[in-house]
Structure 1
Amino acid sequence: MSFFGYMIRQVAEIVNTVLSLYIYVIIARALLSWVNPDPYNPIVRVIHNITEPVLLAIRRRLPVFFGGIDFTPLLVIAGIVLLQSVIARLAVMM
C-alpha cells in the first residue's frame, strides 16, 4: 500500500471517530430533552449549540414529529451510521 493509501485510511479513521463522538453528543441531547436542564449550564449550551444546526436542518425538511415525539435524533444517527459504513468501504478500497 502506498503512502497515499495509508493517509486516506488514517483520515477515514479520524472522521469515523469524530462521527462516533457526535453520535454520543446527539444521544446526550436526546436524554437531556427528557429532563428540564438548566439552559444556562455551559455543558447543556455546548451540547445544544453542537447539535442544533444538524437537527434543525432535518426538522425543516422532514416532518419527523409523530405523537409529540421527535424522531430527528434517530434519523440523524441512522444517517451518521450510513455515512460511517460508506467511509469505511471507501477506505478499504484505497
Structure 2
Amino acid sequence: MFVEIAYILLTVILYFIIAQAVMSWLIAFNVINTHNDFVRQLWDMLDRITEPLYRPFRRIMPDFGGLDLTPMLVIMIIVILRGPVLKYLAQFG
C-alpha cells in the first residue's frame, strides 16, 4: 500500500516539475507572459509546489549563470526513487 501511494505521489511531483520547466521556457521565450492573471496564478502555484523541492539542492549546486540544472537533478532523483528504490521496498511489503 505504501509503495503504491509513494509511486503515485512521486509521479504527480514529476508532472509538476515538468510543467513548471515547460512553462518557464514559454515565459523565457515570450510565448506567454505573466501579465495574464491565469498564467501568473498558474506560475505562482507551480513555483510554490516546486521551490521547496529545489531549495536544498540549490544550496549545493554550483552556479551556472542563467542555466538552472536543479529541476533535472530532482527529476533524476525521482526516477531513481520510483524505479529501483520502490521496487526494492515492495519486496518487503
- TM-score with structure 1 setting the length: 0.76
Aligned twin of 2:25: 34
TM-score normalized with structure 2 length: 0.77
Aligned 8 A contact 1:55 1:76 in 2: yes
- Distance in 2, Cα, partners of 1:81 & 1:64: 24
Q: Which moved more, 1:76-85 or 1:31-40?
A: 31-40
- 1:90 is aligned to 89
The structure where strand makes up a greater share of residues is: 1
Amino acid aligned to 2:80:
L
Write the distance in 2 (CA, Å) between the matches of 1:56 and 1:34. 20
| Structure 2: segments with no counterpart, 5+ residues | 28-32
Percent identity of equivalent pairs: 38
How well do the aligned residues superpose, as a CA RMSD in angstroms?
1.9
Q: Aligned partners of 1:17 and 1:44: how far apart in 2?
A: 23
CA deviations 1:16-37 (Å, max 9, x no partner) are 0110110110011111111224
Give the number of the structure whose alpha-carbon radius of gyration is greater: 1
Shift of 1:64: 5.8
Segments of 5+ residues of structure 1 without an aligned counterpart are 1-9
Task: Return the offset for 1:93.
Answer: 3.2
Deviation at 1:92, TM superposition (A): 2.2
